[in-house]
Amino acid sequence: MNKDEEDSKHSWEQTVKTIFGRNVGNVLLEFTATCDLSNPQIFAEYENKIIFDYPLKKFREDLYSKEIKILRSDMSIMDRALQALVLSQYRLKVFQDNHLAIKPVVLFKAAKISDSKDFMAEFISTVENLSGMTLERISGLIDNPTMSTVYKYFAAKGITFDMLAQELREDFSEEHCVSVNDDKEADRKQVLLNSLEDADNPYRAIFEVKKLDEGWDVLNLFDIVRLYETRQGGKKISPATVSEAQLIGRGARYCPFQLDDEQSKYQRKYDNDIDNELRICEELYYHCQNDSRYIFELNQALREIGIDPDKTVTCKCILKDDFKQDELYKNGLIFINNRIVKSRADVNELLPSVRSKTYTVSLATGQSGEDFILEENQSVPSSSTIKPILYSCTIGEIAAINYAIVNKVLATQPVYKFNALKSRFPNLKSTREFITSEKYLGNIKIEIRSKYEQPPVNILSVAVTNVLTKISAYISEIEEEYEGTKEFSAVNIHDVFRDKTVNYTTVVDGGIGKSQNDASVPSEMRIDLSSEDWFAFTDNYGTSEEKAFVSYFRDYIDRLKAYYSKIYLMRNERQMHIYSFDGGERFEPDYVLFLQKDKEDGYEQFQVFIEPKGSHLMETDSWKEQFLLELQANAIPVKKIVDDNKYHIWGFHFFNRDNRKDEFDSDFDELLTD
């Protein structure tokens, strides 16, 4: 650290400490995306201060980032840049086709400022004179599936190369380009660069060297073009490559959009449907030279910051030809319900998904007298040797010990004022009912990790505050509540289940992303499903619990065949969803089993929803199991056309080898009757 940096650090730290010390009630929180804990000095500074660590790797696994694609080629740099414009224009049109006002941006990164200025001038001139012939020539330079899709789209829309060239001349003209290498205009341009998503922001192309490597927040960046083909020598990853990886990491922030209110706006939606045209709107493309050593280095650098493109596994879920020719697939029905707005007058409880969740609160065990509220399942660097003790209870049990603990916490948050609660839950009779009733807070479970076998009042109060703050966010957002209809409408099976390509970003040996016949699957569960006539797809890439269920199901086949003329088990790759009766919460059961018995007139069909569930999720997802068990008595199949067939809609207990085997056996035995 040089003298200027040391002085700046001292000045900044001293200023913050002075402000912090002015009032004993002050709380100082730092939010940073660049806390390098691998650096011993930084680790020593932050060791006992970290409250929550959410690395980019977890951010990506939780679907909050774009996926990274590296598009390498032997094209010239200008041709590579023009190809990026074509891809960007395609993405713009996909957004427009789906009525989304999002403008994709391209960034051109040079090694030196002089190179950036020279290329920008050449780029503006090239675009100004761009012809359809040039674009047609570029379209034939590489054989790439993404670009093939792009050119097929333009052809299908009747957009010729000449028409596309005209669009690019207009959209990427000089007034839509900006250079950020000039310090004199840095402040003015910084405002424009941080508002690229705004509808009135004119820029589609950005030219830079290092100005945007840090401190730049932009969501609609989808293409980065590397304007140099050199790489620094040496065995280690070069600083330049690390810098490029960090820029990619910034560009990887998800650009939020949704087609309806059921979609999550801020998360990727098409990992399970990568053939969907909108998948391109969840991807960041890095355009560079086809240099194997450089690509290797870049992947290493991306891996170090938490992005690992190599670990993404693409699987094709293919329906068997024999199944596609079967009458069940061609003309058969699956029954699916809808959700409707629930009158507030009928709302008399918190959503099951809120009530059934276990909330974990960890409290620091140091002797300083300050407690740090930590998020669930996060490891914190600590020099403490005190082992936390786990104390489990419910909010109702805490209230039974000392009602004032919970009541005082409620009094500190406006959303829990009785009038506010009454407006959202019209049937609520009192604050006491809200605290003690199992329909509201009473049965909500808390796990407290602290140094106390029996936490004292102040620890219980902190834990309750933590949990009720989380629940208050849900209550504050309540506008409309829903319920699932008991009428299940008929939909053609062939309109729901089709061949599909799926990305798995977290692959586990013997589990998710692995074939049921993979060597990592235990031998007793290993099956070549391509030769099993009862499984509709050629393979199963589900979790280890799912693979255990499919193996379990195979052992029942011969007995099922004694009762049914048609048996098909289908894995649901997010192709179908139903809604819980209580709360209208969306649920995508992992499997649907179709069974048919022949009758004198028509047939009798059983449609059974099945959900294998790992032990660690059974409690959190208990509302799903409850819904499944309600189906047999409540679900009403509604046909569009009258026929002689009889339909049943059932659901089973969760399949779990350790905790639900007897219940699941009993459910399955119900199918083995006349």
pLDDT at 308 over 90: no
Q: How many CB atoms lie within 10 A of CB 670?
A: 12
SS3 for 451?
A: coil
Task: Report the C-alpha gap between 111 and 160 in whole angstroms.
Answer: 35
The confidence score (pLDDT) of residue 1 equals 52
Residue 485: which of 639, 338, 649 has the closest Cα? Answer: 338
In this predicted structure, which of 106-110, 139-143, 484-488 has the lowest mean pLDDT?
139-143
H or E stretch at 492 = strand 487-492
pLDDT at 190 over 90: no
Angle at 187 between CA 185 and CA 191, to 5 degrees: 115
Q: Which residue has the higher pLDDT, 253 or 610?
A: 610
- pLDDT band, very low/low/confident/very high, at 471 (cuts 50, 70, 90): very high
Q: Per-residue pLDDT tens for 65-91?
A: 999 999 999 999 999 999 999 999 999
pLDDT at 392 over 90: yes
- The residue with tokens 């840049």 is 81
- pLDDT band, very low/low/confident/very high, at 187 (cuts 50, 70, 90): low
Q: Which residues are registered as beta bridge partners of 448? A: 361, 391
Residue type, 419: N
In this structure, the dihedral spanned by the alpha carbons of residues 175, 176, 177 and 180, taken in order and rounded to 10 degrees, is 90
Angle at 483 between CA 479 and CA 484, to 5 degrees: 145
Q: Which residue has the higher pLDDT, 9 or 135?
A: 135
The confidence score (pLDDT) of residue 656 equals 96
- pLDDT band, very low/low/confident/very high, at 366 (cuts 50, 70, 90): very low
Residue 328: which of 644, 642, 596 has the closest Cα? Answer: 596
Task: Report the C-alpha gap between 461 and 466 in whole angstroms.
Answer: 9
Average pLDDT over residues 501-521: 90
CA dist list (Å): 173 to 109, 177, 180: 18, 7, 17
Report whether 527 contacts 550 (CB < 8 A). Answer: yes
Residue type, 614: G
pLDDT at 377 over 80: no
Q: Which residue has the higher pLDDT, 259 or 347?
A: 259
pLDDT at 202 over 70: yes
- pLDDT band, very low/low/confident/very high, at 643 (cuts 50, 70, 90): confident
Task: Report the C-alpha gap between 107 and 207 in whole angstroms.
Answer: 6
Report whether 357 contacts 620 (CB < 8 A). Answer: yes
The proportion of the chain whose per-residue pLDDT surpasses 90, expressed as a percent, equals 63
pLDDT at 52 over 90: no
Task: Report the C-alpha gap between 371 and 480 in whole angstroms.
Answer: 37
CA dist list (Å): 469 to 29, 373, 439, 542, 642: 18, 12, 18, 35, 52
Q: How is residue 237 annotated by DSSP?
A: P
Q: Which residues are registered as beta bridge partners of 571? A: 591
Give the chain's mean pLDDT: 88
H or E stretch at 132 = helix 132-139
- pLDDT band, very low/low/confident/very high, at 50 (cuts 50, 70, 90): confident
Residues 6+ apart with CB under 8 A from 610: 549, 589, 590, 591, 592, 593, 651, 652, 655
Residues 6+ apart with CB under 8 A from 607: 334, 335, 592, 593, 594, 637, 647, 648, 649, 650
User: Residue 574: what are its φ and ψ, rounded to 5°?
Assistant: 55, 30
Task: Report the C-alpha gap between 621 and 613 in whole angstroms.
Answer: 9
Q: Which contacts qualify for 363-372: CB closer than 8 Å, 24 or more apart?
A: 363/448, 363/449, 363/450, 363/451, 363/459, 363/462, 363/463, 365/450, 365/451, 366/48, 371/459, 371/462, 372/51
| Per-position b or e across 422-437, b if 16+ CB within 10 A of its CB | eebbeebeebebbbbb
Report whether 353 contacts 30 (CB < 8 A). Answer: no
DSSP sequence for 86-120: HHHHHHHHHHHHTT-----EEEEE-SSHHHHHHHH
Q: Per-residue pLDDT tens for 626-637?
A: 999 999 999 999
The confidence score (pLDDT) of residue 382 equals 43
Task: At 347, list the tokens.
Answer: 């709302």
Q: How many CB atoms lie within 10 A of CB 182?
A: 12
Model-level pTM greater than 0.85? no
Q: Which residue has the higher pLDDT, 339 or 18?
A: 339
Domains of the chain are 3-60 (no CATH), 69-311 (3.40.50), 321-338+485-669 (no CATH), 344-481 (no CATH)
Residue type, 504: Y
Average pLDDT over residues 121-132: 97
H or E stretch at 401 = helix 395-401
Q: Which residue has the higher pLDDT, 148 or 229?
A: 148
pLDDT at 4 over 70: no
Average pLDDT over residues 224-239: 77
The confidence score (pLDDT) of residue 431 equals 95
Average pLDDT over residues 333-358: 89
SS3 for 418?
A: helix
Residue type, 371: D
pLDDT at 137 over 70: yes
Task: Report the C-alpha gap between 389 and 379 in whole angstroms.
Answer: 15
SS3 for 267?
A: coil
Q: Per-residue pLDDT tens for 482-493?
A: 899 999 999 999
pLDDT at 579 over 80: yes
Task: Report the C-alpha gap between 51 and 508 in whole angstroms.
Answer: 29
Q: Which contacts qualify for 401-409: CB closer than 8 Å, 24 or more apart?
A: 401/460, 402/457, 402/460, 403/432, 403/435, 405/457, 405/460, 405/461, 405/464, 406/435, 406/441, 406/464, 406/468, 407/431, 407/435, 408/461, 409/461, 409/464, 409/465, 409/468
Average pLDDT over residues 517-543: 96
Task: Report the C-alpha gap between 582 and 233 in whole angstroms.
Answer: 62
Q: Which residues are registered as beta bridge partners of 226? A: 109
The confidence score (pLDDT) of residue 242 equals 82
- pLDDT band, very low/low/confident/very high, at 210 (cuts 50, 70, 90): confident
Residues 6+ apart with CB under 8 A from 151: 139
Residues 6+ apart with CB under 8 A from 317: 499, 500, 501, 502, 537, 539, 541, 571, 573
Residues 6+ apart with CB under 8 A from 525: 516, 547, 548, 550, 551
Task: At 320, list the tokens.
Answer: 């068997």
Report whether 612 contacts 382 (CB < 8 A). Answer: no
Task: Report the C-alpha gap between 9 and 1 in whole angstroms.
Answer: 10
* CA quadruple 125, 126, 127, 132: dihedral sign: positive
SS3 for 33?
A: coil
SS3 for 643?
A: coil
Task: Report the C-alpha gap between 536 and 497 in whole angstroms.
Answer: 10
